[in-house]
Amino acid sequence: MGADDTRAEPGLPYFCLTTSGLPPGEAFEQWRTLLAPMYEVSPTTRSAVLPFGTNIAYPIDDLVAHRTLLSTQRLQRDRRRVDAGSDQYIVQLYRSGRFQGTVAGKAVSASAGTVTFIGRRHLLDGMLDRADTTGIVIPCSHLHGLPLEDHDMLFDAARNRLLAARILDLYRRLPTTRPDDAPALAVEFVGFLRRLLDPSRAKDVLEGRELDGGLMALARMIVRENLSRSDLSPAFVAGQMRVSRATLYRLFEPEGGVMHFVQGERLKAMRDALADPMETRTLARLAEVFGFSSASQLSRSFRNRFGAPPQAWRVERRVVQQISGQGTVQHVWKWLRETR
């Protein structure tokens, strides 16, 4: 779907499970069933609250993207699950919360802002503390030729920053992505990840054009995180990105300049939020978050850009998503089994 296209076209199929509002025992059973092929789920102690969570998953060609909200819980992957699993890696960003445990016999600790790189064939035993994660499941065949087992499960600070931005950027685009556009998204993300994982690349590749897509994702993340700021300016963005003004202006030249990009991001952020099945905030609150002076100013700007008022567009997208179908737990594991 183009930036200004509001036609009610079918989007990507997706699966969404939330255990909110269910009795604790029922919530636990639904959650345990969803995660059973990958993890054994249990409370952290005998007296702890039973685990629960919310998950949304989208197939992107032969990748699978997800966002998962998890209560405090213990996850274990034993040899049986390893042997039965597909040959995949999961690149996962912790938006909040924490993971601490062992993966493939090595101690791993991840907190907010950390990206982990963990194989489905790795034994795992760890504790999650009220985590909000977004991840991409990638077949190992896409990463052929890279020394995956030699790579650490965490990234250096520069690569972590770019990859976190790229994961968030990809996820935010999914609710308005047409199925025909999914293969290009997958190719784009895999190519970017390969460049980050390739040990033959010098560290200064992070400053070169080869990863401009990552810098643009980083810029988009910085802009989106600061849309309500009155001092959101080229100087602010360059400082946050840790790049020179010359690099910033070169990067944004195809976008019509930094501030033109900022205004466009305000509207696209609103559009993407309204299309996200996990977004529940009101229009007034979203207008504040995304830097609009009022809900009426948001409505005028949104209508001018997308041809429909925001609430009408939200309702239309939800109808389209229902037509696309939410899928089932079986669909999720079919997607993952085919992701090889």
For residue 138, is pLDDT > 90? yes
pLDDT interval class at 190 (50, 70, 90) = very high
- Whether 314 and 178 share a structural domain: no
2 in a structural domain: no
Helix (H, G, I), strand (E, B) or coil at 60: strand
- Whether 31 and 93 share a structural domain: yes
Residue 184: CATH number of its domain: 2.60.120.10
Residue 333: CA count within 13 A, CB half-sphere: 12
User: What is the Cα–Cα distance from 44 to 18, expressed in whole angstroms?
Assistant: 21
Helix (H, G, I), strand (E, B) or coil at 256: coil
The predicted pLDDT at position 39 comes to 94
Q: Which of 129-138, 206-215, 234-243 has the lowest mean pLDDT?
A: 206-215
Q: Which of 41-55, 104-118, 284-298, 314-328 has the lowest mean pLDDT?
A: 314-328
- Whether 119 and 178 share a structural domain: yes
- Whether 40 and 175 share a structural domain: yes
- Whether 52 and 191 share a structural domain: yes
- Whether 18 and 53 share a structural domain: yes
- Whether 237 and 309 share a structural domain: yes
- Whether 234 and 190 share a structural domain: no
Q: Which of 65-79, 132-146, 169-183, 213-227 has the lowest mean pLDDT?
A: 213-227
- Whether 189 and 260 share a structural domain: no
Q: Which two tokens stand for residue 333?
A: 């594991």
Residue with tokens 């979203």: 286
Query: What's the predicted TM-score (pTM) here?
Result: 0.79
User: What is the Cα–Cα distance from 303 to 28, expressed in whole angstroms?
Assistant: 43
Residue type present at position 271: R
Domain closes at, from 138, 164, 199: 199
Full residue range of the structural domain in which residue 36 is found: 14-199
For residue 205, is pLDDT > 50? no
Specify the number of domains making up the chain. Answer: 2
Domain closes at, from 199, 234, 269: 199
User: What is the Cα–Cα distance from 312 to 224, expressed in whole angstroms?
Assistant: 23
For residue 60, is pLDDT > 80? yes
The predicted pLDDT at position 201 comes to 61
pLDDT interval class at 2 (50, 70, 90) = very low
Residue among 70, 75, 94 at smallest CA distance from 19: 70
331 in a structural domain: no
Q: Which two tokens stand for residue 285?
A: 């609150």
- Whether 164 and 281 share a structural domain: no
61 in a structural domain: yes
* Cα 270 from chain centre: 17
- Whether 171 and 219 share a structural domain: no
- Of the two residues 247 and 114, the one the predictor is more confident about is 114
